[in-house]
Chain A
Amino acid sequence: RKEVEQDPGPFNVPEGATVAFNCTYSNSASQSFFWYRQDCRKEPKLLMSVYSSGNEDGRFTAQLNRASQYISLLIRDSKLSDSATYLCAVNVRYSSASKIIFGSGTRLSIRP
């Protein structure tokens, strides 16, 4: 089982729709969680950090469910410019250091 798993999609939704992605993680000791956005042939860019019970930034809301070990990203009133791949990332603590493990990403396509 992968340490961080995402539905690869693609999600194809109309402009203005609300869309949600989930990301599950296997290490219950994980402390920090992140969502990144990656446009085609570009580098990942940090979208949101997810701490404690979650947070909101404009149209984007991230939630953390520690009991079920997943994080979610909700995008409201989606725009054409939201089309991208969304990567979740989880901080995992090993014996010598902590590392960020990335999911494989969920592709989102917004249609007019």
Chain B
Amino acid sequence: DAGITQSPRHKVTETGTPVTLRCHQTENHRYMYWYRQDPGHGLRLIHYSYGVKDTDKGEVSDGYSVSRSKTEDFLLTLESATSSQTSVYFCAISERAYEQYFGPGTRLTVT
């Protein structure tokens, strides 16, 4: 299995609080991605990174920001969490922007 970890694995937070999710890889892959997965919507891309400090928006980026200061870490921040951001968040990595390998996911509940 690809060396990808996510932290925290579970989090419950209140509306309006900031939340940061971390993705860490040991594969030295260039590309990193954040997805959210909700029933009926499948996996939707939030943001992705194609190198250190190089990031771009996905299809559902509103309310989220990301940072990548090191190859191995990709952070996803919810500046002010809302109930609509309750979801399962997956990080993924890839070397050539084709096959992607996923982390174990973070279950986020916003009350």
Q: Which residues of chain A have a CB within 8 Å of any CB of chain B?
A: 32, 34, 42-46, 49, 87, 89, 91, 96-105
Contacts and interface: CB of A to CB of B under 8 A. Distances in A.
A104 B97 CA distance: 20
A101 to B, nearest CB: 8
Nearest to B31: A97
Contacts of B45: 99-101
B56 A96 contact: yes
A45 B42 contact: no
Contacts of B103: 43
Nearest to A46: B99
A21 to B, nearest CB: 14
B90 A44 contact: yes
A45 B102 contact: yes
Contacts of B48: 97, 99
Contacts of B64: none
Contact of A46 (B58, B101, B104): B101
B98 A42 contact: no
B100 interface: yes
16 contacts: A32-B98, A42-B104, A42-B105, A43-B104, A43-B105, A46-B101, A87-B42, A89-B100, A91-B97, A91-B98, A99-B45, A99-B58, A99-B97, A100-B97, A103-B42, A105-B42
